[in-house]
Amino acid sequence: GQNIDQPTEMTATEGAIVQINCTYQTSGFNGLFWYQQHAGEAPTFLSYNVLDGLEEKGRFSSFLSRSKGYSYLLLKELQMKDSASYLCAVLDSNYQLIWGAGTKLIIKP
């Protein structure tokens, strides 16, 4: 079966760095998405990786290793507004989008 694994919940301190991991086992791979979802709001797009390596976008970076079936989202200089759920999703070989259950990130002052 197809599976996306993310930690259920993480806690970090304002101003620090946090890494949210995502491992996947899918039938093929055509790209990986990260979305942010604040409580009671719509998910919003953060990043898309299809090639191995690190993509940096301001305070957020996303890394992909296709050989390891692994990605992470790195958040630097954490702010209170970064408290949200972070969703990992993989496009499989049939271009079906497989979603993880999300990681709830709690930022403490």
Partner 1 sequence: ETGVTQTPRHLVMGMTNKKSLKCEQHLGHNAMYWYKQSAKKPLELMFVYSLEERVENNSVPSRFSPECPNSSHLFLHLHTLQPEDSALYLCASSRGTSGTGPSDEQFFGPGTRLTVL
Query: Residue 36 and residue 91: Cα distance in Å, rounded?
Result: 17
Q: List the interface residues with partner 1, window 26-85 (CB under 8 A).
A: 30, 33, 35, 40-45, 48
47: left (phi over 0), alpha (psi -120 to 50) or beta: beta
Element at 90 (helix H, strand E): strand 84-91
Tell me the torsion sign for CA atoms 33, 88, 105, 75.
Answer: negative
Exactly one of 16, 50, 97, 106 binds partner 1 (CB under 8 A); which one?
Answer: 97
Output the smallest distance, CB 30 to partner 1, in A.
7
Q: Which of 20, 49, 72, 102 binds partner 1 (CB under 8 A)?
A: 102
Q: Is 22 in the site for partner 1 (CB under 8 A)?
A: no
Interface ranges with partner 1 (CB under 8 A): 4, 8, 30, 33, 35, 40-45, 48, 87, 89, 91-92, 94-102
